[in-house]
Homo-oligomer: A and B are copies of this chain.
């Protein structure tokens, strides 16, 4: 049962009874996706928050030249949506797509509100999740402003070695703001 992955993640932050946990997961829908399936479309109303139980998602947008650019990855135990659009139920600024075969729990905005009303302890869970995510985003903005593209790659590889093996290189290049050719060059230099 996929829901156990979310239950275990919640348990690392909160003390809840088994009854409460089994009621909480009823708020979520579970779906399995193939690689490269789209879960959220830009310019469509953003009505879902996603939790990755297995696999990997990417949040991306299409730039003015028509190229997709990855803004965020989400692997197991990570939450993803266009949070500003989700809060206001506005059209999304991003697409969300599977990077590999993935199993995802998701919740609609109205169910999310119901969940938080019925289980106020979940406010603490999401407070910690977003506090960490925001802190990480500030660190990423720091790196964007202080490291060369080459240094960005090496820092990312040293911090997330398995992830670098797992994600297609053109997506990693997009996430780091490199061309795939330049990423190849950096990796080649390192091997030579």
* Chain A residues in the interface with B (C-beta under 8 A): 59, 61, 63-64, 69, 71-72, 82-87, 93-94, 116, 120-121, 123-124, 126-128, 130-142, 144-146, 177
Contacts and interface: CB of A to CB of B under 8 A. Distances in A.
Contacts of A82: 135, 138
| Number of identical monomers bound together in the oligomeric complex | 2
A93 B135 CA distance: 11
B61 A138 contact: no
Instruction: Determine the main DSSP class of A at the interface with B.
Output: helix
Contacts of A84: 132, 135-136, 138-139
B71 A142 contact: yes
B138 A141 contact: no
